[in-house]
Structure 1
């Protein structure tokens, strides 16, 4: 009985270790496209969240892939020229400055 309990405990510990072996990868390098999702560097997200700019009212849907009209002011990020940002309908968005396309909506 004792050997069975000991063996069962060893199996449970071995199986639970596999669950803890999961890995989370956070990238802070150049953007990468993964299944049509752009992975934005962490410092860009942090910068955008810290900025205080007024929200712009927009009647369309704000989602990844939406091209913002010229009437929406987009702010460039000097240290990260591949990204810009704005606040639309009280939602912060990261934008491709060349195409004005939303690449990420921050929550």
Structure 2
């Protein structure tokens, strides 16, 4: 019985840590979103879902945002997404 309780607690803690990591949010300045929404950038195709945390391949060109080195953007599958230009990870789906 003790082994079962310890195993269940271990699984709970492992899953709990994962859930906390996934709920981390990045607060993006409003001017970044405004800039991205005004740009007329063609959409690129990407197989699969584009969601927060998705890492975009090197073949997808990330566009820079003036005076905002921590943010980039790309239009993927007709959705505007903000990207961390260093990691290529999607940080927010704007539209």
CA RMSD of aligned residues (A): 0.8
Higher RCO structure (Cα 8 Å, ≥6 apart): 2
1:70-85 equivalences in 2 (<5 Å): 70-85=58-73
Paired residue for 2:83, among 95, 99, 103?
95
If each structure's helix is expressed as a fraction of its own residues, which one has the higher value?
2
The unaligned stretches of length 5 or more in structure 2 are 1-22
**Higher Cα Rg: structure 1 or 2?**
1
**Aligned residue pairs, count:** 73
Moved over 4 A (4+): none
TM-score (norm 2): 0.74
5+ unaligned residues in a row in structure 1: which ranges?
A: 1-34
- More strand, by proportion: 1
